[in-house]
Amino acid sequence: MKSTVLNIEGMGCSGCVNTVENAISALPGVKSAIVNLEKETAEVDYDENEVKEADFRQAVEDAGYQMTGIQS
């Protein structure tokens, strides 16, 4: 299990937080995703053998937001 923090831009309300959390949580291998609106981050616990950085980026973009980086 690995933990990381994703930087996400474009969120403006609690609905945005729920959308991003649901998008990331739906990825295979993601154990938990907690999005912080104020910090514009998502703390994610995941199995690195099942999900990769590109998967996070795609899920966030598909939800209508932008992932600007990862803090390991």
Quick: pLDDT tens for 31-65.
999 999 999 999 999 999 999 999 999 999 999 99
Number of domains present in the structure of the chain: 1
Residue 40's pLDDT is 97
Per-residue confidence band for 28, with pLDDT thresholds at 50, 70 and 90: very high
Per-residue confidence band for 13, with pLDDT thresholds at 50, 70 and 90: very high
Q: Does residue 72 have a pLDDT over 90? A: no
The CATH number of the domain holding residue 41 is 3.30.70.100
Degrees to nearest 5, angle at CA 4 with 65 and 44: 65
Residue 41 to residues 11, 59, 67, Cα–Cα distance (Å): 10, 14, 9
In terms of residue numbers, what domain contains 63? 2-71
Asked whether 1 and 49 are in contact (CB, 8 A), the reply is no
